[in-house]
Amino acid sequence: MASKKKSVVRKRRSSKKAQTSRFKRFFRALAVSAITSFGAASCVLNPQLREQIQLEPVLEQLGLPVQDAPQVLATGPQAQTNFSQCREFFPNGRPPIVPSGPALRELCYSSFAILHSGKSRTPVFVAQRLNRQMLMQGKNIERTDRFYPEARLPSSERAELDDYRGSGYSRGHMAPAGDMHTLDAMAQSFSLANMVPQDQRQNSGPWNKIEQDTRKYILRARGDVYVFTGPVYTGRSAAIGGGRVAVPSYLYKLVYDATTGKSWVHWQPNSREAKVGPPISYEEFVGRTGLRLL
């Protein structure tokens, strides 16, 4: 009889432990769901909160993986990008082929897409699809100027606000705020994933003229115009901040008119002496960079 009683007691204890374990798992899952849902919704509605709401430490404490932007898998000297969630920003829905590199990640936004390099902590390119209707709609959108670090990138791969403070460089938009046609797009354009350290005079002078001239062309175009913008690094690049955000040697802006099939590339040194000059051909751009964006 004593043996049977002990067996019953052990079974009851085992049942209680199982129930407690199930409850803990349920509560853990519920807490994670609530935290991540609140954080995600807050960051979507107010992107500037991403520098205040840090989900990564919470998820790590709960033993859950942090959801990063998808990486590009390199299979050789060249890599085929995917961008399965936002192929509308690429001509014919075909994402580009780029030189392979470490920590390349794809980021989709409401009005542009970014291939980001965790090595330089800047974009490789930013892709946009624009037309007259979008730019006309964007004239009523107020600029926000609320910069924020990109929470979808691991902290070891992203730029932070402190990296730019006191650096002497502008947080230079690759997809310009002036191109944005919705409130969400305007807010998202201030992600630091969309920025490079840019010479202040070049940014506000000749580069600003290139952006304005591109918008003027799109307003005259009969259909969609695809624009790719990004930095180019040559030799040993300078860097800013504790995160060592790389300072580009050159900036490019590739414009492709899908209706006419015409394309051209603005190419400028990232320096105060930069001037607006004649564009180069797409073929010359590919030869200089290895980026097959079209």
Catalytic residue among 116, 173, 181, 266: 173
Three-state helix/strand/coil letters over the chain: CHHHHHHHHHHHHHHHHHHHHHHHHHHHHHHHHHHHHHHHHHHHHCHHHHHCCCHHHHHHHCCCCCCCCCECCCCCCEEECCCCCCHHHCHHHCCCEEECCCCEEEEECCCCEEEEECCCCEEEEEEEEECHHHHHHHCCCCCCCCCECCCCCCCCCCCCHHHHCCCCEEEEECCCHHHCCCHHHHHHCCEHHHEEEEEHHHHHCHHHHHHHHHHHHHHHCCCCEEEEEEEECCCCCCEECCCCEECCCEEEEEEEECCCCCEEEEEEECCCCCCCCCCECHHHHHHHHCCECC
Q: Is 266 a catalytic residue?
A: no
Residue numbers annotated as active site: 173
